[in-house]
Amino acid sequence: MDFNYSENQTIISETIKDFSKREIAPYMNEWDEKQIFPIELFKKIGSLGMMGVLVPEEYGGSGLSYDEYVTIISELSKVCGSIGLSVAAHNSLCTGHILKFGNEDQKKKYLPKLASAEYLGAWALTEPVTGSDAMRMNTTARKEGDNWVINGAKNFITHGSSGDVIVVVARTGELGDSRGISAFIVDSSNPGVSSGKKENKLGMRASETAEMVFENCIIPDENRLGPVGDGFIQSMKILDGGRISIAALSLGIAKGAYNASLSYSKERKQFGKSISDFQGISFKLVDMVTEIEAASLLTQKASEMKNQNLSVTQSGAMAKLFASETCVKVANEAVQIHGGYGFTKDYPVEKFLRDSKLCTIGEGTSEIQKIVIARKILNS
């Protein structure tokens, strides 16, 4: 395995740095403070080919690998976790689900517009009373002739208000039956689709998170993704790849917090010298960069396995678990290194800390990752 950036990854990294300086960094604190979702920004990111990273060129995408995808999410998240999160959710969840399980007509209809960001994607699995316990979801899809009627509510949905295309996972069989769940493509303009409460969050405040409500929402059978009853299994496979996204997101936030701390520790003078000259600070920096490197290697391994179409259930969960926990730890230490200034909004590390916590929760909590890993190692 080559541990250095490829030529493609280097170009992507430099492109994002330039783009972020112009389009993200000057505005991100206002977006965070006022919880503004900068939807037009994603059109610009789409013009760079970063909203359909894994989509083949024949469907209007960039046709890149998971290596480039991880680079994009990580580099964006070094600057602003919210933007990295929204790009990840659009690419790996909604777009990724249609790419992996859609038929040819569905791919031709939706992927080009998702890849260009003409359409913004959402993925609706989680419900108010069934977070990790997805098999007991209450949202139903009932067959009526050649149509399906969807009723229920989903919450904590990224782009739940602004999404144009939603992949909805709903119960079509018995409660608690993994084969009683199916997936559907729903246009947000469809009658019976509405958005509810927009969450007021600790972090990731510029990434929209909202409730979605479906009231007698009628969609044609042609919008069903794969066979009836395959929705739960499909979702678990999508989450396998999605966890690599969260690992990449975690890496970016951790690197951003570390870089800010490294610079600050060299500039900040106490007792006549830079605080980085004190062992108490330098050892913190050593721990931070070492754990980031370990998280990066786990993420690279999962990414390479994904490129080879190998199962990433275990490797993705491991990468997500370690990278997300590292992210929180690094961001916390970054605030400590900054001292009182780290507790203010004049420096970026307080935002990195607030954003970091989502990484240990979204797309499966750290505890769920341990359950997934335990099942794999105990049944191998």
Q: Which two tokens stand for residue 191?
A: 């009658």
String of DSSP letters for 73-133: HHHHHHH-HHHHHHHHIIIIIIIHHHHHH--HHHHHHHHHHHHTTSS-EEEE--BTTBSS-
Would you call 308 helix, strand, or coil by DSSP? coil
Q: Which two tokens stand for residue 9?
A: 């990854």
Rounded to an integer, what distance in angstroms lies between the CA atom of residue 238 and that of residue 260?
Answer: 33
Q: Which residues are catalytic?
A: 363
Would you call 324 helix, strand, or coil by DSSP? helix
Residues forming beta bridges with residue 273, ordered by sequence position: 270
Q: Which two tokens stand for residue 123?
A: 């993925």
Would you call 207 helix, strand, or coil by DSSP? coil
- The CA-atom distances, in angstroms, between 324 and each of 56, 156, 357 are 29, 19, 8
If phi over 0 gives left and psi between -120 and 50 gives alpha, with beta otherwise, what is residue 371? alpha
Q: Which two tokens stand for residue 286?
A: 């050593």
Q: Which two tokens stand for residue 358?
A: 């989502």
